[in-house]
Structure 1
């Protein structure tokens, strides 16, 4: 049970750090974050048996797509946190260090590059977007921030649950 509770705290905390980063970036530079309703739309179409789209924005909307997308966003953060905790073990969970968090944060960029972006019509690693290099760099930076969030949230979890 300890690993599940820690995964929830770390995953939600890291994802919250990511969302605060996206909000700050939008306010500072006007960069629009990912529309989680479109992710929810993709999930809604998965239930209907459709994985790939030419453009998820052009796909038919699904009921409660925004809620689905945000739920998926946070569930994914919790799953990645669970992976981190399982890989690093209970001793690490009690005294977290930053290198595993940063490494996992960087590795998580593979999920959007090779699953989400192709499935939603943006191509492998955003290859079908107007500025692929910029999109890739933005994705990588976002996932580095997620790694920082994993570390900060792991420190919080260690303080909340020292044993």
Structure 2
């Protein structure tokens, strides 16, 4: 399998693991799953020159925001998988290990803390939310789960290729 196909499948698999975690988290802890339509709304306003909102839920709806948001979510997962395979290279692809996957997964917390949350009205690192520390913890946990997903997806792909 070539690097591009491996990276695509790893990113999709890791993002799927994170989404499944969101469903489990919602059932176990009553925490709603992420609403990627709001990400789509945020992104949909950017071509119009609007990059920051007081509260994205109060911004005007954007045509196709759900599709935009979910597409961006999975494309971001693929981009982070590309970061992982780009840094650790063919050695990691041949022999996936959890350390690099967790480093990338947890390291990507910078994107929501410094870009998405401020742009969508939640402030830097969710500082404008009702419970910032809880929001930060859940963001960190979600990104750690994504890192675990990078590892699990890569191992699964490797096992499939060996069969």
TM-score, normalising length from structure 2? 0.96
Q: Paired residue for 1:26?
A: 26
Structure 2 CA distance for aligned equivalents of residues 91 and 143 of structure 1: 23
Cα drift, residue 161 of structure 1: 4.0
Q: Paired residue for 2:4?
A: 4
Q: Where does 1:105-120 land on structure 2 (aligned, <5 Å)?
A: 105-120=105-120
Q: Where does 1:12-161 land on structure 2 (aligned, <5 Å)?
A: 12-161=12-161
Cα drift, residue 21 of structure 1: 0.3
Offset from partner CA, 1:98-152 (integer Å, 9 cap, x none): 0000111110111000000000000000000000000000100010000100000
Farther-moved stretch of structure 1 (89-98 vs 112-121)? 89-98
**Do 1:109 and 1:139's aligned partners in 2 also have CA atoms closer than 8 Å?**
yes
- Paired residues in the alignment total 162
Structure 2 CA distance for aligned equivalents of residues 3 and 69 of structure 1: 26
Where structure 1 has 5 or more consecutive residues not aligned to the other structure, the ranges are none
Structure 2 CA distance for aligned equivalents of residues 23 and 34 of structure 1: 9
Q: CA RMSD in A?
A: 1.1
Structure 2 CA distance for aligned equivalents of residues 93 and 157 of structure 1: 10
Structure 1 CA distance for aligned equivalents of residues 89 and 55 of structure 2: 41
Structure 2 CA distance for aligned equivalents of residues 161 and 95 of structure 1: 12
**Do 1:3 and 1:82's aligned partners in 2 also have CA atoms closer than 8 Å?**
no
Where structure 2 has 5 or more consecutive residues not aligned to the other structure, the ranges are none
Structure 1 CA distance for aligned equivalents of residues 2 and 84 of structure 2: 14
